[in-house]
Structure 1
Amino acid sequence: MYHLTLPEVITHSSVSVEKKNAEYLKLKENKKGVLNLASQIYNYDFFWKCLTPEPKHRDRIPNDLVTSLTTYFGSVEQFKQAFATVATNHFGSGWLVYVRLVWLTWNKKEGKLQLFEGHDAENPLQHELVPLLTIDVWEHAYYLDYKNERAKFIDKFWNFVNWSFVASNLRSTTKGPQKEL
């Protein structure tokens, strides 16, 4: 199933039972497989957009984002510490389907920034949260460079955050904190 693209999975999930292998049959019986694949594609696409090698996007955090992070977390450094703590302490292991992410989100219902810890292919959109920033804390994201020292990976993560992208995500919320401050 993992060698297929999402459109192929959707196409194959409607093929007759006689032509399906066991994995496709599972998809037909439970469309959750399609949702999980779509979520994983979204999660990884979003994760890569959160990173940049460009100093102009990572070295300066836009003022409105600094203000929002300070309002909800006390300071940018306190936000980074809270984010890193959740990411470092995220428990568990799994296989390809088991993607773990930690997100900074805008909670539309409560009107605030918050951290969201997702399991499996879960993402904040499933909980009506607007994603702003994420990190993949599954071992394949860091093991080759950092072995089992996830905290070192998270520490280096901050050197590549695309703060312009994060701020743009915050500004795109229909009721973001910049309108309340």
Structure 2
Amino acid sequence: MATKLEDVILLYGGDLSSDVAEQISSKLSTLPIDPTHVHRISMSKSKEFKAALLEGPLAKPSTLAIFIAQTIENESPPEDAGACVRFFKRKTHPETLLNSKVQYAVLGLGDSNLLLDRQHTSAKDCNQVAQALDTRFETLGGQKFCERGESDERTGLSEVDPWIEMIVAKIKDCL
């Protein structure tokens, strides 16, 4: 049985991921969850995301942190997400950094149109930031809430809505 959820944190970095965070927030507003328990935090705000995920009252197994991770050119995050991505990639973190902390989910937003050197591309080819974060969270002892979602602007981000529906249904089951 999944842990009962009390809080949801939406972490975003960049315009596109902010729009998706708003979509998720809107869907969550239809659930029996107090709106004051849904938190939107920019990945550019180091102190806020560190406090929320590792130190403060939200850093508990009953909190779900949803990372909306955009990949731009050269397999990099947008500037707004850089602080968060760099923080979690640090090799100095103990493998227990996320033990007994928030549960996590990752949604990748990529654009295979930026991969001009390849003839055949898919969402899997353009979501390196999401893939790296998901793998790193697992290495740091994080508890995965659901499978990583990956989307591609070339397909109109058609993978986003089904992933949002899936995670909202799963959240509803944990309230």
Task: Return the TM-score normalized by structure 2.
Answer: 0.27
Structure with greater proportional helix content: 1
